[in-house]
Structure 1
Amino acid sequence: MDGETPDAPLFIELMEPSVLYNLLNRFFKYPSISDPSYLLLIDARKLHEYNESHIVTAKLAPKNKHDQFEVPYDGELECKQFIVVYDGTTDTLTNTSGEAMKCAQLLSDSGSRNKVKILSGGYERFSALYPFLRTQKILWLPQELDGIKTYPMEVLPGLLYLGNTEQGRADYIQKDLKIQGRIACNVIGESCEPDSCEFLNLVIPEDKDADLSDALQKACTFIDLHRDKKSVVLVYSDLMYASASTICIAYLMHQQKSSLQESLVNLSSIVMGTHVPPHHSLLNNLSDKNTAALTSEA
């Protein structure tokens, strides 16, 4: 979780790697990182470390002749929705002499309208979790960002991802995320290549009077089996993600013993508006018929 540490600067917070992963992969019609006002990602490590490898779209933090951080010339801090800084390994806000903290403090003091985030665990932790988001590329043209490959949203780190049908069928996603299980929701004619992964195809009716209990329990059991094996599941659908979102909300209720409202808020905060929530009929069905069953077993 994002969070503040006692005695930490007021306008600086830690950000978990999964949150940055989701920021980088958020999209509507185009990837959100193609919007210049969306994300400023700053690498506060040494030049040679940055040149060797850095997180995709990250910019090297500039320094003056006295080895002090400066605001990037095109930073436009007041326009940025998210500003994230990382160094090699910083995982606390109490070390005020660390490179990430010094850089973040400068950006916070220089006009950022939102809290500046420091990536918890820095580049080393993030690149260990998401090695496919490393790069040596420094300059990105607008059309390159418009067409950059995105990954599904990470709902539960190392276990559950939420995507669309195109992502559900993409070989690079199955390879990079090590997907071992796929749940297709309301996807006609969907199948899985033999031995490539375990596959569950579900029909999630949108009728508010429909009984979803069987489908939701099948999905929760499927994900639980993969959780026990420490393998990864991707849930995906057409229909603006509504059906796949329903599965994810149901599993959050099941695993965390949370209410429908708590799980819906949780999922919304994770995907940050990328995915359309379930239709009212699906939410009513979850609330009226399945809450007790989903939260009674884990």
Structure 2
Amino acid sequence: MNRIQFLKPTELYNIIQQRSRYPSVSDNNFLLILDARSAAEYAESHIITAKLAPRQDDGQWKVPYEAELECKEHIVVYDGHSRSRDASESEDELNAIQLAKFLVAQGSKNPIQIADGGYEDFSKLYPFLRTKKILYMPKELDVIVTYPTEIIPGQLYMGSVEQALNKRIQKDLKVRAHVAVTNENETYFATDSDKLCRVGIEDEVGSDLLSCLDAVCKFIDDRLENSDVVLIYSDLGISRNSAVALAYLVYKEKCTLREAWKAVLKCQKSTRPNRGFIKQLSQWEEKVLGERKTDIEDPAF
């Protein structure tokens, strides 16, 4: 197993947005983000929930207090702009790589992930996720705002009704169109707007999603071609919206349902279309690709 991995900005964004009942960042064992820049740079601005990576008096790294490296599901480090291609750069520009090697040597259970492009690239793409806040109380993390997960970077997102009605989120992500897979009546865009596609079905095994997929996928295509950012949402953001996201990836990328499943699950680990939707997605795969290539009886589904 590669003990040090580079993480694309969209991957770090999605890790931060994971949630179940509560935001995953409120779980002490879920995520540790360490900023390997100077204390002054960190104080000026840093990625949300990040901690300043501590050093000893001689400048050498040390393990953060109560870091418990063996328990963390994700340990992410970053500096100003280290990239995966930076092997020939000077040592001063490789702080994240130095820190990652140190943490591996200290016994991290999982790989250390380096934010590719560092703070500079991440903050350009997600300026709303930078902050000066240093200390978070547990109750603050329990109610921290999570954003929709990013399926196609900067273009297609997947979320909940609550997120779809949040004006701040629409502004930050520059969302210009919605696919509402819900019977919820309240919408951000007017019901007669060309920015809204409604799929009024319940999250039930017998609900008919298949007959809507042609129109929905064409709507998403049209909006993306018009440079609109699209958000697919359902009530909780787990089943109906993910079924549509899966269908669109099969339609757009001409990939198998299995490949689409792996891609969406990587973006949002709580992805759980109901069994009826999975069967209809198998039919959709056959329609788009000309044959069924995915065994939906596999335990992975």
TM-score, normalized by length of structure 1? 0.89
Q: Is 1:34–2:26 an aligned residue pair?
A: yes
Q: Is 1:217–2:214 an aligned residue pair?
A: yes
Contact 1:22–1:270 (CA<8 Å) still a contact in 2?
yes
Contact 1:226–1:232 (CA<8 Å) still a contact in 2?
yes
Contact 1:38–1:81 (CA<8 Å) still a contact in 2?
yes
Q: 1:174 to 1:243 in 2, by over 3 A?
A: same
Where do residues 158-197 of structure 1 align in structure 2 (5 Å cutoff)?
Answer: 158-194=154-190
* Residue in structure 1 matching 2:258, options 261, 270, 290: 261
Contact 1:158–1:231 (CA<8 Å) still a contact in 2?
no
Q: How many residues align?
A: 285
CA distance in 1, matches of 2:56, 2:241: 49
> SS of the counterpart of 1:111?
coil
Pairwise CA distance, 1:189: 1.6
CA distance in 2, matches of 1:202, 1:11: 44
Partner of 2:69: 77
Q: Is 1:109–2:101 an aligned residue pair?
A: no
Contact 2:16–2:24 (CA<8 Å) still a contact in 1?
yes
> SS of the counterpart of 1:73?
coil
Q: Is 1:294–2:288 an aligned residue pair?
A: yes
Contact 2:207–2:276 (CA<8 Å) still a contact in 1?
no
Moved more, 193-202 or 70-79: 193-202
Contact 1:216–1:250 (CA<8 Å) still a contact in 2?
yes
Contact 1:86–1:100 (CA<8 Å) still a contact in 2?
yes
Pairwise CA distance, 1:193: 4.0
AA at the equivalent of 2:121? R
Q: Unpaired runs of 5+ in structure 2? A: 291-301
Pairwise CA distance, 1:295: 4.4
AA at the equivalent of 2:258? Q
Among all aligned residue pairs of Structure 1 and Structure 2, give the percentage whose two residues are the same amino acid. Answer: 41
Partner of 2:274: 279
Pairwise CA distance, 1:205: 6.2
Pairwise CA distance, 1:197: 7.8
CA distance in 2, matches of 1:67, 1:207: 58
Q: Is 1:232–2:226 an aligned residue pair?
A: no
Pairwise CA distance, 1:207: 7.0
CA distance in 2, matches of 1:235, 1:27: 17
Q: Is 1:21–2:13 an aligned residue pair?
A: yes
> SS of the counterpart of 2:49?
coil
> SS of the counterpart of 2:239?
helix
* Residue in structure 1 matching 2:243, options 238, 241, 246: 246
Contact 1:155–1:270 (CA<8 Å) still a contact in 2?
yes
Q: 1:95 to 1:64 in 2, by over 3 A?
A: farther
